Amino acid sequence: MRPRSGRDDSQAFHEAWESGTPATAEVAELVRAAELVCESAVATPRPEFRGALRERLMAEAQTVLVPDPGASRRAVADRTPAT
């Protein structure tokens, strides 16, 4: 039996991951473990956190995102070439 290299193993995993058809039971087990890691890596904020964050952002927006009436005039003036 020929010794396997790490490159052979990673190639077998990659092909199984892409195709969904593992060549061996060992590779199938590795693919399943990777799938479990991916599934558990999804983070979803709690509804209470989302609600509280939204309230804080809306309150902050009322003071930080106040329109500046002179901003549009300055922006046009800044883009107008001097003669």
pLDDT at 5: 64
Q: How many CA atoms lie within 13 A of 4 on its CB side?
A: 7
The predicted pLDDT at position 83 comes to 57
Is 7 a residue whose pLDDT tops 90? Answer: no
Q: Measuring CA to CA, how many Å separate 49 from each of 55, 58, 82? A: 10, 14, 51
C-alpha span between 56 and 48 (Å, rounded): 12
Q: Which residue from 40, 36, 20 is spatially nearest to 28, judged by alpha carbons?
A: 20
Q: What is the model's pLDDT at position 3?
A: 55
Region 29-56: what's the mean pLDDT? 92
pTM, full prediction = 0.44
What is the distance between the alpha carbons of residues 21 and 12, in angstroms, rounded to a whole number?
10
